[in-house]
Amino acid sequence: MTEVHGHCDERFNAVRDAFQANFDNGLEDGASVAIAVEGELVVDLWGGVADRATGAPWEEDTLCCLWSSTKTMAALCLLTLADRGLVDLDAPVATYWPEFAANGKDGVLVRHVMSHTAGLPGWGRPISLDDLYDVRSAAALLADDAPWWEPGTAAGYHAVTQGFLLGELVRRVTGDSLGTFFRTNLAEPLGADFHIGTGPEHDHRIATIIPPTKALGGRSSAGSVGERALNNPVITADVGNTVDYRRIELPASNGHGNARSMAQVQSIVSGGGSVGGRSFLSEDAVAQIFREQWVGPDLVQEIDTRLGIGFGLNGPEVPVSANPRACFWGGWGGSVVINDLDARTTFAYGMNRMGDGLDTDFRAISLVFAWQASAMAA
């Protein structure tokens, strides 16, 4: 039987039990789960193996590629800049990035990019994986593209492109890359072991990804917007095990961390802007997340969704909490972050064996149910 390590407040023993059950039922290789209440880690658990081939254990400080859960970190960077008066969420992207206005994108607002309604879920010309590694050139290609729909009138998951768009915005405004801005303004002050662009000093503790059976766009309907967006280029999860992929900064998709570090950073949101007595965002800045930008079908994921600024919103489309003020995002294969502002709680889960979906699967859902039941019983 896989041994689960870490600590768990007795109020949340059901979460430990559910985490253990995922291993006992053969659903996990290595994984971590964390819950922070008022910024304090009341659950911090990990277990299993970080590398199936060698049997290396998942340790307290093991890191893993968390795919699109990284988007929650990028969103905080933009909200921070907005809070400081350096970015207006309602301003055109071209205000800060003039070249972006090309081909009818002068009406694309910053909040459109943050809510997947900008009309740029993919590139308008064929590109390769190597093209993505030249981050600024890939962003420039998007700046030259025409939107696929009138911005703000539809939503389609900007699964890969959002990172290039937000990354270039941060660079234009601050002169720093988004990964650098995130590190100096959020991760380091919080002591959070989360990285967007991961240096060689961390390679020895990065878990090996076990890919799903399909590429990123493998579930898309033939001829759909999703197929066009997610298969250019075709991305298989094996790329997450390469050094080249770790080194570049992809704020939409290649953050490396664990459940603990996700919960530490995202506690800024669940704490209303503050963690441990330190203010990172004003309450007004956090409230921006809940400005509803879209309710309805997502043209890429082909599901109904409810989107705020930078996060998915709790609702009948994706019910993540019994409390109304909750927001979330998930990563390819199963990782997830949920911020419940009414409970001042952040839940986070990450793993190295990927499921076949673009986001959360049964493993995380079982943990969320256990957390919610524990909170209601407390």
Report pLDDT digits (tens) over 58-86: 999 999 999 999 999 999 999 999 999 99
β-pair partners for 350: 32
The active-site residue out of 32, 68, 115, 366 is 68
Name the band, by pLDDT with cuts 50, 70 and 90, for residue 219.
confident
Distance CA 65, CA 43 (A): 21
How many C-alpha atoms does 250 have within 13 Å on its Cβ side?
Answer: 27
How many C-alpha atoms does 373 have within 13 Å on its Cβ side?
Answer: 12
Q: What is the pLDDT of residue 208?
A: 98
Q: What is the pLDDT of residue 253?
A: 96
Compute the mean pLDDT over every residue in the chain, rounded to the nearest whole number: 97
Distance CA 90, CA 356 (A): 36
* 274 belongs to the catalytic site: no
CA distances from 241 to 175, 208, 291 (A): 30, 6, 37
Q: What is the pLDDT of residues 1-12, one digit of tens each?
A: 899 999 999 999
Distance CA 272, CA 346 (A): 11
Q: What is the pLDDT of residues 268-284, one digit of tens each?
A: 999 999 999 999 999 99
Distance CA 253, CA 373 (A): 31
The average pLDDT across 151-174 equals 98
- Give yes or no for a contact between 325 and 341, defined as CB atoms under 8 angstroms apart: yes
CA distances from 200 to 64, 116, 136, 176, 247 (A): 14, 32, 22, 20, 8
Distance CA 60, CA 45 (A): 8
Distance CA 125, CA 177 (A): 25
Distance CA 30, CA 28 (A): 6
Q: What is the pLDDT of residues 318-366, one digit of tens each?
A: 999 999 999 999 999 999 999 999 999 999 999 999 998 777 789 999 9
Instruction: Domain count for the chain, please give it.
Output: 1
The average pLDDT across 119-128 equals 97
Which residues span the domain enclosing 197? 4-377
Q: Is the pLDDT of residue 376 over 90?
A: no
Question: What's the CA angle centered on 120, arms 155 and 248, to 5 degrees?
Answer: 120
Q: What is the pLDDT of residue 233?
A: 96
Please provide residue 351's backbone torsions phi and psi, each rounded to the nearest 5 degrees: -155, 170
Where residue 337 sits, what CATH number does that domain have? 3.40.710.10
Q: For the chain, where are the E strands, in sequence order?
A: 4-8, 30-37, 40-51, 56-57, 64-65, 195-196, 255-257, 274-275, 278-279, 294-297, 304-307, 312-313, 326-330, 336-340, 345-351
Three-state SS string over 17-73 comes to HHHHHHHHCCCCCEEEEEEEECCEEEEEEEEEEEECCCCEECCCCCEEECHHHHHHH
Distance CA 286, CA 80 (A): 9
Eight-class DSSP state of 337: E
